[in-house]
Amino acid sequence: MKKNAFQLWKTAACLTAAVLIPLGLSALSPAAPERPVEETAPLEEQEIPVTEKSTYPYIEIHGDYRWLWGRGQFRADSFPAPNKVRRHDERVYLATRRLRLFPFVHFDEGTSLRTQLEDLRNDKEPNANHHLYLGRLYVQHEQDRLKVEAGRFNYYLLDGNVIDKKVDGLRLRLGQRNDNLGSLTFFAGRTTGADDRHRQRGWSLLHSSQYGRLKSDAAYLDFHRIQSLPPSGPSRAGTGFDRQRIAEWRLMYELTPKLTASLDLLQAWGRHGADGYDTTDSGFVAALTYGHLDERQKGSYEAWIRYYDQPSASILYHTMDGDTTFFRRMDFRGWGARLDYIVCPGLDWAIEGFSLKNRHDTVWTGDFRETVIGTSLTAYF
């Protein structure tokens, strides 16, 4: 009980510092120069408008087509009996083709109905094909210091280390990052999934601020599964959580106009009822990003490298193309890197890779290692 209380105070102190330190800087110094007010998802996750008209209402349609190939190598050691090691090796190949269309209806300058149609073909597993379906449908209204989204949309938080997932719900943002008090974003809703065991309901709060080249983002999330998971295994050898509370504080500093460094601090609590398991863990993700990607400009590029030391309880739906569920509840650490290059206007080539291993062993499990490499070609239209 005392340990849990200490961890709660530790989390509260970190979040308080994440909000008050940037506020103090803003109060003591002049306002920051005008900069982008929101973090953007990776280029392939952005809904890129292609037209602007002065008469309303009007309809626009844009989209993208992506070919992706990847290979994953997974190795796991288990201990079926004392002093006996069993090694499991598996190699997985992935080849997919994805078409996405984004029909938007603009009612006025700030209000629109946004939809997404998606068709996904898996060349290695035809049974995993998803023929044309409605992936997103939501209303968005945006003013200078107000943004409201309601319906089914994609929830991509910061760098996607915690959540990158389609959700049904409401998201409300007040203020802007470069205001003296920063911006505050509230979300409430549920994730999408095949059934209630794969859906989670929850809420989150995000405070974003900026002083000069320094950006600060402090988030708190509380999510629980609509239907509890069945027994999966003892201690860290089991899989999944019924409820997760996650505190995240990301500091990002622009070293040069092209080079950015960031540190994502994580504190998480997770519980699995049927396994009788709960844990409180901390970790971080450190990153360097170089370049600026613009799909309209030939030769533009962006490259990043990240080091992960991340607890499993801090992950709802990770954005990485590696498989974080492979490490069960043993947490993981390792490296990831990606390069995007615009071959010609509207055509993006990317290559990325990850080398990861488990952070903890158990009585039943030993060394878990995962190596993933992939490449993709995406055409925007």
Strand blocks (E) in 331-364: 332-344, 347-358
Q: What is the mean pLDDT of residues 91-110?
A: 94
Q: Residue 22 — very low, low, confident or very high, per pLDDT cuts 50/70/90?
A: very low
Mean pLDDT on 293-317: 96
Helix (H) or strand (E) holding 256: none
Does the pLDDT value for residue 180 go beyond 60? yes
24-82: per-residue pLDDT in tens? 444 333 333 333 334 556 766 666 665 666 788 999 999 999 999 999 999 999 888 77
Dist. CA 322–CA 339, nearest whole Å: 16
Nearest to 104 by CA among 41, 59, 71: 59
d(C-alpha 15, C-alpha 250), whole Å: 11
Question: For position 49, what pLDDT does the model report?
Answer: 62
- Indicate the SS3 state at residue 140: strand
Q: Which of 97-101, 127-131, 205-209, 304-308 has the lowest mean pLDDT?
A: 127-131
For residues 171-191, average pLDDT: 96
Compute CA distances 111 → 19, 56, 94, 114, whole Å. 31, 10, 39, 10
Domain ranges of the chain: 2-380
The per-residue pLDDT for 330 is: 95
d(CA 8, CA 169): 27
Position 364 confidence tier, pLDDT thresholds 50, 70, 90: confident
Structure confidence at residue 23 as a pLDDT band (50, 70, 90): very low
pLDDT, the chain, mean: 88
| Contacts of residue 236, Cβ cutoff 8 Å, sequence gap at least 6 | 279, 312, 328, 329, 330, 331, 360, 362, 365
Contacts of 186 (CB under 8 A, 6+ apart): 171, 172, 173, 203, 204, 205, 206
Which of the two residues, 15 and 226, has the higher pLDDT score?
A: 226
pLDDT tens per residue, range 210-240: 999 999 999 999 999 999 999 998 889 899 9
pLDDT of residue 81: 77
C-alpha torsion angle, residues 205, 210, 216, 217 (rounded to 10): 20
Read off the tokens for 187.
Answer: 């979300």
Helix (H, G, I), strand (E, B) or coil at 313: helix
Q: What is the 3-state secondary structure (H, E, C) of 67-90?
A: EEEEEEEEEEEEEEECCEEEEEEE
What pTM was estimated for this model as a whole?
0.85
Fold of 2-380: Porin (2.40.160)
Cα(249)–Cα(269) distance, integer angstroms: 15
CA distances 77 to 81, 250, 297, 309, 328, Å, are 12, 34, 47, 21, 13
Q: What is the pLDDT of residue 15?
A: 47
Q: Are 341 and 301 in contact (CB under 8 A)?
A: yes
Contact of 115 with 137, CB cutoff 8 Å:
yes
Looking at the chain, list the stretches that DSSP marks H as alpha helix, in order from N- to C-terminal side: 2-28
CB contact at 8 A, 364 and 336: no
Distances (CA, A) of 210 to 77, 166, 225, 231, 366: 45, 28, 34, 45, 43
